[in-house]
C-alpha cells in the first residue's frame, strides 16, 4: 500500500510514474469507501484523482499556489496534504470541511463554495507574486461548468491582457452539477472532437524550420501561417485570441501525459490554459453511469450503489416543484428559470411537463435575474428558482433591474436558513437582510408546506411588483394539503395561540419551534402567544400596534441573520411610531459565519432551540412581576 506513506505532498516526489498510477487507484478506492459512510461530493473528486496527483508531483505546495474553483473537488488534495486520517469526520460538526478551508491547512490557499472565482484569485496571487519579486507558480483549476459564469470571463480577459505567468487548468468533464448549457459548452465540444489541432500546428512550425538558412527566422515571423491552421482546425480559437497559450485537449487520467504537459506549460512566459478531459465519477461504475446523481451524494452501499436515504416526508423543494406544475397548467404565462440547478431546485418534473417554459441559463445568476425582469415586462410570469446562497450573486440585478423597474418577478428562494453539511459558504441566512431594504419587494416565508402552496398562488396573483417566497432545506411538516389554493392578503400575519402578556413572533420553520416552546411553558402557568409572521415585508403593522397597546412582551424568532432581519424591521417600526418602551427580544443568527454540521447542531450553536425560547419567556415572566405600564400611542 502506497497511500499510508503519503503524509505530505513532498512524499510524491520520489515515486515513479507507475507508482503514481497505483497511488491514484488507492486514493480512488479510499474515497469510495469513506464517502459511502459520510456522503459528499463523490463524482467530481473521482474525476480529478490523477490530475491532482500529477499537480502535487510537479509543483511544490504551498509555495506554489493551487486554487480550486468551488473547492468541492479538492478531496484528493486534502488526502495528499495530511488530512487522510480525518475523512471519517467529513462535513460533520467540527470535522473536515467539504470545501477548501484556509484554517484547515497551509496548502488551502483559496476557499470558495461558489463557482467561477478561481481565475480572479489566481490573477490576484500572480500580481502579488510579481510585486513582491517572488517566483512561485500559480495554478487555477476551473471546470467547464464554472466557465459559464460571467466572472470567469472577466478574469480571462484581464489575465490575457496582463500576460502574467500563470496556468489555468480547464477540467472538462462536460458537467457542472447538471448538464452544461450554452455557447461555451458547444465550443468546448468542438475542441474535444478534434484531436488534430496541436499536431497540425506543430507540423507547420516543423516544416518551416527545415527550410535552409531562413527556416528558424521564418518560423518565428510567419505566425499568420500558424494562425491560419488554428482557424482551420479549431473554430474561434477563443483562448489563444484572449492571450493564452492553449495546450490540449489531453487525457486527464494519463499521468505521464499530464506531467509532460505541465512541463511544457512551465516553459511559457505568460498565461497558459491546459485543457484536460476527465470523466466525472471515474472508477466507480454507478457514479460514471450517472454523474449527475452522484455529484453530491448521501451515504450509500458500495457494492450496489444504493443510496441510503431515510424514508420520510418529502422536502419543501418537492412540494414547490409539483405545485409549480399545477399552477403552470392553469396559467400559460409561467416560465421557470434556474441558474444550473434544475435538479436541486426541484424543476426536473416541470422541465419534462413544459420543456419550452423551462430555462436553464447555466451558472449565471446575474443574467438570470435581469432576464427575468425582461420576461416580466413582456407580460410573462417568471419564477426565478434559486438557492438563497446563490441569489447573493445577483444582488445588483435584483436592485437595479427587478425592484427599480418594479418588475413582477417571482422569487422561489430555496435552502433558506441553515443548510447543514455544506456549511458557511452555503448558509441561506442573508437574503432577508439584503432584500428587505430594497423598495417594491414583498417577502414571504411559510410555516408549513400547505402555506407554501398558498404563497405560490399569492405570488402568481400579485401584479404590483417583485414578490418572493422562501423555504428551507428541510422535510415538510406533514400537514394536509388544500385542494383549492387562494391568495393570502399581503402583509397579514396569523395568530396561532392567544397571548397573555407574552408572544413569540416567528417565521418559517421557527413557528413550529415557537409552538413547542409555548406548550412547554404553559405547564408552568405562562401563556405565550405564537404569531406566524408569514410576511417578512411588509409587516402586519396593525397587529404590531395591537401588541404594543396591550403591553405584550415580544420575542422575534427567525433562522436568519439577526442584523437586517425581520426583528430589525419590528424595532424600526416601533421607533418610527415613537414607541420606545415596547419589550422586544431578538433571537436570530449572530454576526458571524456558521460552519458545517447538521441543521440541528447549527441551531443549537446559535441558541435557536425550544429550551432557549422557554428560558427567554421565563425571564419575561419574572420581569413582569414588577409591573410595566402598557404602551400608549403618541397623540
Catalytic positions = 280, 365, 393
Is 481 within 8 Å of 314 (Cβ atoms)?
no
> Which of 120, 142, 123 lies closest to 69 in space, CA to CA?
142
CA gap 91, 298 in Å, rounded: 11
Q: Is 25 exposed, middle or buried (CB count within 10 Å of its CB: 0-12, 13-18, 19+)?
A: middle
Q: Is 141 exposed, middle or buried (CB count within 10 Å of its CB: 0-12, 13-18, 19+)?
A: buried
- Strand, helix or coil for residue 505: strand
Cell of 137: 507558480
Q: Is 633 exposed, middle or buried (CB count within 10 Å of its CB: 0-12, 13-18, 19+)?
A: exposed
φ and ψ at residue 629, rounded to 5 degrees = -65, 150
CA gap 429, 464 in Å, rounded: 26
CA distances from 486 to 325, 381, 461, 495, 511 (A): 16, 18, 9, 19, 21
CA gap 557, 87 in Å, rounded: 36
CA distances from 15 to 9, 22, 42, 63, 253 (A): 11, 10, 26, 21, 17
CA distances from 49 to 53, 283, 449, 568 (A): 6, 10, 42, 48
- Strand, helix or coil for residue 12: helix
Cell of 488: 393570502
- Provide the β-strand partners of residue 246: 273
CA gap 137, 64 in Å, rounded: 5
Q: Is 529 exposed, middle or buried (CB count within 10 Å of its CB: 0-12, 13-18, 19+)?
A: buried
Cell of 542: 396593525
- Strand, helix or coil for residue 194: coil
Cell match 445577483: residue? 394
CB neighbour list of residue 292: distance below 8 Å, 6 or more residues apart: 175, 177, 178, 179, 343
Question: Phi-psi bin for 453: left (phi > 0), alpha (psi -120 to 50), beta?
Answer: alpha
> Which of 36, 191, 54, 41 lies closest to 115 in space, CA to CA?
41
Cell of 193: 472532437
How many Cβ atoms sit within 10 Å of the Cβ of residue 94?
A: 9
CA gap 566, 538 in Å, rounded: 10
HEC readout, 413-430: EECCECCHHHHHHCCECC
Amino acid at each position: 500500500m502506497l497511500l499510508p506513506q503519503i503524509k505530505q505532498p513532498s512524499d510524491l516526489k520520489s515515486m515513479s510514474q507507475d507508482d503514481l498510477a497505483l497511488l491514484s487507484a488507492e486514493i480512488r478506492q479510499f474515497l469510495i469507501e469513506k464517502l459511502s459512510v459520510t456522503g459528499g461530493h463523490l463524482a467530481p473528486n473521482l474525476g480529478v484523482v490523477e490530475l491532482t496527483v500529477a499537480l502535487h508531483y510537479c509543483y511544490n505546495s504551498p509555495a506554489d499556489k493551487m486554487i480550486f474553483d468551488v473547492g468541492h473537488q479538492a478531496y484528493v488534495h486534502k488526502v495528499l496534504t495530511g488530512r487522510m486520517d480525518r475523512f471519517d469526520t467529513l462535513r460533520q460538526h467540527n470535522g473536515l470541511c467539504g470545501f477548501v478551508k484556509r484554517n484547515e491547512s497551509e496548502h488551502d490557499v483559496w476557499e470558495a463554495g461558489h463557482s467561477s472565482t478561481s481565475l480572479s484569485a489566481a490573477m490576484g496571487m500572480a500580481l502579488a507574486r510579481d510585486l513582491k519579486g517572488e517566483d512561485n507558480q500559480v495554478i487555477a483549476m476551473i471546470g467547464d461548468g464554472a466557465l459559464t459564469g460571467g466572472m470567469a470571463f472577466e478574469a480571462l480577459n484581464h489575465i490575457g491582457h496582463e500576460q502574467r505567468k500563470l496556468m489555468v487548468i480547464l477540467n472538462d468533464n462536460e458537467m457542472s452539477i447538471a448538464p452544461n448549457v450554452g455557447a461555451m459548452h458547444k465550443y468546448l465540444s468542438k475542441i474535444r472532437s478534434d484531436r488534430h489541432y496541436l499536431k497540425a500546428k506543430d507540423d507547420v512550425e516543423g516544416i518551416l524550420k527545415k527550410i535552409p538558412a531562413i527556416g528558424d527566422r521564418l518560423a518565428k515571423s510567419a505566425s499568420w501561417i500558424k494562425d491560419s491552421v488554428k482557424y482551420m482546425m479549431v473554430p474561434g480559437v477563443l483562448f489563444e485570441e484572449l492571450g493564452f497559450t492553449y495546450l490540449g485537449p489531453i487525457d486527464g487520467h494519463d499521468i505521464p501525459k499530464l506531467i509532460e504537459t505541465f512541463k511544457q506549460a512551465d516553459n511559457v512566459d505568460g498565461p497558459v490554459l491546459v485543457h484536460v478531459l476527465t470523466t466525472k465519477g471515474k472508477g466507480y461504475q454507478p457514479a460514471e453511469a450517472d454523474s449527475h446523481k452522484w455529484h453530491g451524494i448521501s451515504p450509500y452501499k458500495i457494492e450496489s450503489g444504493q443510496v441510503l436515504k431515510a424514508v420520510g416526508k418529502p422536502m419543501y423543494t418537492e412540494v414547490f416543484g409539483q405545485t409549480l406544475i399545477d399552477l403552470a397548467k392553469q396559467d400559460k404565462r409561467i416560465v421557470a428559470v434556474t441558474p444550473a440547478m434544475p435538479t436541486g431546485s426541484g424543476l426536473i418534473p416541470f422541465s419534462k411537463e413544459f420543456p419550452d417554459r423551462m430555462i436553464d441559463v447555466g451558472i449565471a445568476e446575474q443574467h438570470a435575474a435581469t432576464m427575468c425582469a425582461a420576461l416580466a415586462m413582456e407580460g410573462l410570469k417568471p419564477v426565478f428558482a434559486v438557492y438563497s446562497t446563490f441569489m447573493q450573486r445577483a444582488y445588483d440585478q435584483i436592485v437595479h433591474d427587478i425592484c427599480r423597474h418594479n418588475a413582477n418577478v417571482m422569487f422561489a428562494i430555496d435552502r433558506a436558513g441553515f443548510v447543514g453539511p455544506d456549511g458557511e459558504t452555503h448558509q441561506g441566512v442573508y437574503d432577508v437582510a439584503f432584500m428587505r431594504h430594497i423598495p417594491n419587494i414583498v417577502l414571504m416565508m411559510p410555516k408549513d408546506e400547505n402555506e407554501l402552496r398558498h404563497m405560490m398562488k399569492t405570488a402568481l396573483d400579485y401584479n404590483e411588483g417583485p414578490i418572493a417566497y422562501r423555504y428551507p432545506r428541510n422535510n415538510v411538516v406533514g400537514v394536509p394539503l388544500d385542494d383549492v389554493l387562494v391568495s393570502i392578503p399581503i402583509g397579514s400575519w396569523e395568530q396561532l395561540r392567544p397571548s397573555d402578556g407574552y408572544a413569540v413572533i416567528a417565521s418559517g420553520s421557527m413557528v413550529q419551534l415557537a409552538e413547542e416552546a409555548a406548550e412547554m411553558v404553559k405547564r408552568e402557568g405562562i401563556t405565550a402567544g405564537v404569531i406566524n409572521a408569514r410576511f417578512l415585508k411588509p409587516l402586519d403593522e396593525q397587529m404590531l400596534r395591537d401588541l404594543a397597546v396591550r403591553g405584550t412582551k415580544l420575542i422575534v424568532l427567525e433562522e436568519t441573520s439577526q442584523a437586517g432581519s425581520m426583528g430589525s424591521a419590528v424595532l424600526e417600526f416601533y421607533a418610527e411610531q415613537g414607541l420606545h418602551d415596547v419589550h422586544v427580544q431578538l433571537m436570530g443568527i449572530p454576526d458571524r459565519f456558521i460552519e458545517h454540521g447538521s441543521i440541528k447542531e447549527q441551531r443549537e450553536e446559535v441558541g435557536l432551540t425550544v429550551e432557549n425560547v422557554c428560558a427567554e419567556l421565563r425571564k419575561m415572566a419574572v420581569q413582569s412581576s414588577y409591573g410595566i405600564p402598557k404602551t400608549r400611542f403618541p397623540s
